[in-house]
Amino acid sequence: MSDKNPTGKILVLGASGHVGRPLVKALRTKGEAVKAASRGGQPIEGAEGVAFEFGRPETFAAAFEGVDRAYVMLPGGYVNSRELLTPVIEAAAARKVKVVLQTAIGVDADDSIPYRQVELALIGAGVPYVILRPNWFTDNFLNFWKPGIDHAGALAVPAGEGKSSFVDARDIAASAAAALTSDRFDGRAFNLTGPQALGYGEAAEILSGIIGRKVGYTPIDDETFVGILTGAGVSEDYARFLAMIFHPVREGWTAGVTDAVETLTGHAPISVAQWAQDNAAALRA
């Protein structure tokens, strides 16, 4: 099958976010017309901006205007994925818009998992689709765990000795760009991983080398973790949700390595060590 040459625009939700921003950039580099959605509706990476808000369906029509493909994801901090994403899937399906949906690795383990229910709604929606299920983002070391490294000199998460094949947000974005600009991957789901599984202790050693001082790893229990996060201003609901999704990490279920990034993008995924080098200045700041 060949790559499409569609005429419509691509709607990117969460366009100023960790995956959204590099995705907008990648699509613009491919010459696509992009509508970059966020609550503020400002232009992003040179793309036209559009105001869109989950839970406010009155914002959907303007966002989908002129669109034939959409990247649908839920920003971090929200726990009600089914309630917020299903109406977006319905809005896309009503307009015959292809959807590339970002969920998370492992959600297909049980059909009662809310993200899996969103996947099933998309599969049954009658439009072309691709599902991307990323593993834990490598970028979390900067975006979520850096304050702990700065204050306590250690990663403190309830991961036990479990390993994860962390995936770089740039690879998720590149995978999404491939899925949005070709019909070769339609009707499939991809578990996106990095090139190797690492424990948090091993990741801490890599970060130590880049930051230039010792970063430790302190495996903590769920309650301690929830306490740290709520103390840093995270809502209790979301903190408990994050604690819950460390259970599969402790069980070793996030350690698998796939070739999905390479299949979609044609290049090998970025390692944690490479990510750390590329983000050295921000990690040291």
Ligand X SMILES: NC(=O)c1ccc[n+]([C@@H]2O[C@H](COP(=O)([O-])OP(=O)(O)OC[C@H]3O[C@@H](n4cnc5c(N)ncnc54)[C@H](OP(=O)(O)O)[C@@H]3O)[C@@H](O)[C@H]2O)c1
* Closest CB 2 distance from ligand X, rounded Å: 30
Spatial contact of 100 and 179, defined as CB atoms under 8 Å apart: yes
* Closest CB 191 distance from ligand X, rounded Å: 10
Please, what is the Cα angle at 265 between 142 and 41, to 5 degrees?
Answer: 55
* Closest CB 212 distance from ligand X, rounded Å: 25
* Closest CB 48 distance from ligand X, rounded Å: 14
Measured from the CB atom, the residue of 13 and 125 that comes closer to ligand X is 13
Measured from the CB atom, the residue of 3 and 83 that comes closer to ligand X is 83
Which residues bind to ligand X, rule: CB under 6 A? 14-20, 38-40, 52-54, 73-76, 102, 104, 134, 136-137, 140
Distance CA 258, CA 101 (A): 18
Residue nearest to ligand X (CB): 17
* Closest CB 226 distance from ligand X, rounded Å: 17
Per DSSP, 59 falls in state G
Task: Return the number of other C-beta atoms located less than 10 Å from residue 80's C-beta.
Answer: 12
Measured from the CB atom, the residue of 167 and 215 that comes closer to ligand X is 167
Task: Return the number of other C-beta atoms located less than 10 Å from residue 280's C-beta.
Answer: 14
Measured from the CB atom, the residue of 5 and 110 that comes closer to ligand X is 110
Cβ-count burial of 224 within 10 angstroms (0-12 exposed, 13-18 middle, 19+ buried)? Answer: middle
Measured from the CB atom, the residue of 15 and 272 that comes closer to ligand X is 15
Beta strand pairing status for 67-72 and 48-51?
Answer: unpaired
In Å, what is the CA distance from 121 to each residue of 57, 85, 231? 17, 10, 36
